[in-house]
Structure 1
Amino acid sequence: MRFSMPRLPKCSLYHWIFVAALMFSGSAAAAAPERVISAGHSITELVLALGGGDSLIAVDSSTRLPADFRPLPVVGYYRQLPVEGLLAQNPQLLVGGDHMGPANTLKLLQESGVSVLQLPEAETGEQLLENIDRLSSALEKPAAAIKRQVADQLRSLKLASKALAQPPRVLFVRAQQGRGLKAAGTGTSPDSLIRLAGGVNTVDFDGYKQLSDEALLELRPDWILFSSDQAEQLQNGSALLEWQPLLKLTPAGRRGAFLSVDGYALLGGIGLASLKEAKTLNEKLSAR
Structure 2
Amino acid sequence: MSSHLSVQAAELPQVTGENERISAHRIISAGGGITEILYALGAGQQLVGTDTTSSYPEAATKLPSVGYQRNLSAEGILSLAPDLLLISPVAGPPTVLKQISAAGIPVKTIEEDYSKEGLIKKIRHIAALVDKQNQSEPLLARLSEDFDTLEKTRGHSDRRPRILFLLTVSQGNLLAAGSDTPADAMIQLAGGSNAMNSFTSYKPLSTEALITAAPDIILCTDLTLNSVGGLENLLNRPGIKLTPAGHKDRVIVMDTLFLLGFGPRTGQAALDLSRQIQSFSVLKSGL
**1:138 and 2:138 are equivalent in the alignment:** no
Q: Which of 1 and 2 has greater Rg? A: 1
Please show how residues 14-93 of structure 1 align to structure 2 within 5 Å: 32-67=23-58, 71-93=62-84
2:97 corresponding residue in structure 1: 106
Counterpart pick for 1:286 among 278, 282, 286: 278
1:201 corresponding residue in structure 2: 194
**Corresponding residue SS for 1:231:** helix
1:104–1:275: structure 2 CA closer, same or farther, 3 Å change rule? same
**1:277 and 2:269 are equivalent in the alignment:** yes
Query: 2:172 touches 2:227 (CA, 8 Å); kept in 1?
Result: no
2:218 corresponding residue in structure 1: 224
TM-score by length of 1: 0.81
Counterpart pick for 1:97 among 81, 88, 96: 88
Distance (Å, rounded) in 1 between the aligned partners of 2:173 and 2:93: 30
1:260 corresponding residue in structure 2: 253
Distance (Å, rounded) in 1 between the aligned partners of 2:74 and 2:220: 34
Superimposed CA distance per residue, residues 204-241 of structure 1 (whole angstroms, 9 cap, x where no aligned partner): 11111123333222212110011101324546533233
Distance (Å, rounded) in 2 between the aligned partners of 1:181 and 1:171: 11
Unaligned runs of 5+ in 2: 1-19, 281-287
TM-score by length of 2: 0.81
Unaligned runs of 5+ in 1: 1-28
Superimposed CA distance per residue, residues 97-141 of structure 1 (whole angstroms, 9 cap, x where no aligned partner): 111122222222222221111111231111010011111110000
Distance (Å, rounded) in 1 between the aligned partners of 2:130 and 2:205: 43
**Percent identity between the aligned chains?**
32
Counterpart pick for 1:212 among 197, 206, 211: 206
- Equivalent residue letter for 1:35: R
Query: 2:24 touches 2:46 (CA, 8 Å); kept in 1?
Result: yes
Distance (Å, rounded) in 2 between the aligned partners of 1:44 and 1:180: 29
Query: 1:79 touches 1:102 (CA, 8 Å); kept in 2?
Result: yes
**Corresponding residue SS for 1:117:** strand
Query: 2:21 touches 2:128 (CA, 8 Å); kept in 1?
Result: no
Distance (Å, rounded) in 1 between the aligned partners of 2:128 and 2:209: 46
Aligned residue pairs: how many? Answer: 258
1:152 corresponding residue in structure 2: 145
Counterpart pick for 1:169 among 149, 162, 179: 162
1:182 corresponding residue in structure 2: 175
Superimposed CA distance per residue, residues 67-124 of structure 1 (whole angstroms, 9 cap, x where no aligned partner): 3568311111211222222111111111121111222222222222211111112311
